Amino acid sequence: MSAPSVLSNSSSSNAMDKTVGILGGRGGQLGRMLAASASLLNIDVVILDVGDYTPAKQIVVPRKPETSHVDGSFADPVKIRELASKVDVLTVEIEHVGVDVLEDIQSTLPLGVHPSPSTIRIIQDKLIQKKHLRAHGSPVSDFIQVSSSFLSIRNAVEQLGLPLMLKSRTLAYDGRGNFALHQLSQIDEALQALKDRPLYAEKWVPFVKEIAVMVVRSTNGEVVSYPAVETVHKNNICHLVFAPLRGCDPAAAERARQVAEDAVKTFEGAGIFGVEMFLLADGSIYLNEIAPRPHNSGHYTIEACETSQYENHLRAILSLPLGSTALKVPSAAMLNIIGASSDIDEITQYAKSTLSVKGASVHLYGKADCRKGRKMGHVTVVAPSDAELRYRLRPLLENLPGGSP
C-alpha cells in the first residue's frame, strides 16, 4: 500500500506547497517577522529588498535555487517582476509601492497579489483613503484638500479651525509628513516643512486615547478582528501598546472593532490590516488611517494571541483557515526599542537587560546600523493581571535607551 499522499508531498516540498514573495520595505522588521512565521509552517518565502543580509533575508535560507532572494528596491518594476516570477503569491510590508506594476502582474500569479493593488492604491494616498472611508460611512474627522500656498491653508483654517493637522497625502510614516498648525503665523513654517509634498488638511481630533485594531480578511471576504488595544506615541512614533484596551467603557472597545471591521470590508483582497483610531472623551471613535499590512500595534499578537498577525496574514493570502484572534493572556504590552543614537551596543545591552524580566520576550530586528528614532526591536510582556503587567513593565521603561518615553 502506498504512503498517504500528505506524507509523500511534505517530504520534499513546503507544508503549504506555495511560495510567498515579500516586497520588502524600509526597515525590514515586518518582513522579518512574517518570514519567521512562515518558517513555522515550512512555507517558502522569497524576499525583495536591497542587500543580501537584510533583516528579513537573515531569516530565510532558500531551499532551492528557484526561490533565491532578489536584491533590489521595492520601487523597481524590473525587480518586482523578477520576484513575481518566483512565487505563487506576492505580498508587501510597505504600502508606498508602485501599484501599476502590481496591477500588471497580479493575474500572472497563481494566487495573485495581496492586499489587492486597488486597495494599496487607495490607501497609499491619505486623501483618497479618507474620501473612500467617508464615502463608505466610516467615522473620520473633517478634511479638505489644500495646495502648498498660504491662502489655501488659511482657507482650510477658516473652515476647520485651529489647531489643524496638515498632512502629506503620500509617503508618510512616523508622523513625517504631518505638521500640527496651532496658529496662522506658523503657515510659512509648515509650508517649508512639507515643501513639494501633496497636502491635505484634517480637523484636529481632541482624542483621549489612540487605539488600534488588527483586522484580517480572507480571500473569500471573511473578516475577523483582534482585540482593541491602546497605542501610546512619542514624537509621532508608536512607543507602547497595551492589550486589551482598558480604562474606558468596554462597549467602546467593541465599537472600535466594529468600526475597524466595517472599514476593512470596504477594501478588496486578502491579508492583515492595521486600523488606527482615536477615542474621544464621550466614547466616540474616529478612524485615523489604515495600513494594509502587518502593523506595529499588532506585534503583541505573537506572544499574546492564539494566532499572530503574521501567521494570520499568511493564512489569509494562502486561502488557509484563519486562526483565532483571541488573547491567550489576561494582559499584555509591547514596547518598541528605538535607537537613541548611532550606538548599537546600547540596544544590545538593553535587550540583555530584558531577559531577566518575567513574561518579557525580546525581538531584535537584525538591523546593521542604529540611528536616533530607528526601530531596532521590541519587547512584549505578558502577565496574569494588569497590576502585574505594570510591575513587569517598570524596569523595561526605566532602562530604555535614551531614557523612558
Report the interface residues with ligand ATP, using CB under 6 A.
141, 165, 167, 172-178, 202, 204-205, 210, 233, 236, 276, 288-289
| Residue 205 near which of ligand ATP, Mg ion, none (CB within 5-8 Å, type-dependent) | ligand ATP
Place of cell 514596547: 335
The C-alpha angle with vertex 385 and arms to 380 and 387, in degrees rounded to 5, equals 90
| Residue 71 near which of Mg ion, ligand ATP, none (CB within 5-8 Å, type-dependent) | none
Give the shortest CB-72-to-ligand ATP separation in angstroms: 24
Site track 122-151 with Mg ion (rule: CB under 5 A), x = hit = ------------------------------
Q: Which is nearer to ligand ATP, 106 or 179 (CB)?
A: 179
Question: Alpha helix locations (H) across 238-319?
Answer: 250-265, 301-304, 309-317
> Interface with Mg ion by CB under 5 A: which range of 94-102, 254-262, 283-291, 333-341?
283-291
Query: Largest alpha-carbon pair distance within the chain?
Result: 83
Q: Which is nearer to ligand ATP, 4 or 206 (CB)?
A: 206
Q: Which is nearer to ligand ATP, 278 or 350 (CB)?
A: 278
CB 326 within 8 A of CB 380: no
Q: How many CA atoms lie within 13 A of 25 on its CB side?
A: 20
Give the shortest CB-273-to-Mg ion separation in angstroms: 12
Give the shortest CB-158-to-Mg ion separation in angstroms: 27
Q: Which is nearer to ligand ATP, 87 or 181 (CB)?
A: 181
The one-letter amino acid at 268: E
| Residue 133 near which of Mg ion, ligand ATP, none (CB within 5-8 Å, type-dependent) | none
- Here the cell at position 111 is 494566487
Q: Which is nearer to ligand ATP, 58 or 141 (CB)?
A: 141
Give the shortest CB-174-to-ligand ATP separation in angstroms: 4
State the pairing for strand pair 19-23/70-71. unpaired
337/354 Cα distance (integer angstroms): 11
The one-letter amino acid at 117: P
Of the candidates 25, 45, 26, the one whose C-alpha atom is nearest the C-alpha of residue 34 is: 45
Q: Which is nearer to Mg ion, 15 or 205 (CB)?
A: 205
44/37 Cα distance (integer angstroms): 11
Backbone angles phi, psi at 54, to 5 degrees: -75, 165
Place of cell 473652515: 159
The one-letter amino acid at 222: E
Give the shortest CB-236-to-Mg ion separation in angstroms: 8
State the pairing for strand pair 19-23/89-92. parallel
Give the shortest CB-28-to-Mg ion separation in angstroms: 17
| Residue 154 near which of Mg ion, ligand ATP, none (CB within 5-8 Å, type-dependent) | none
Give the shortest CB-180-to-ligand ATP separation in angstroms: 7
Q: Which is nearer to ligand ATP, 329 or 337 (CB)?
A: 337
Give the shortest CB-263-to-Mg ion separation in angstroms: 14
| Residue 120 near which of ligand ATP, Mg ion, none (CB within 5-8 Å, type-dependent) | none
Q: Side by side, which strands form the sheet with 178-181? A: 143-146, 199-203, 164-168, 178-181
18/21 Cα distance (integer angstroms): 10
Contact residues for Mg ion (CB under 5 A)? 276, 289
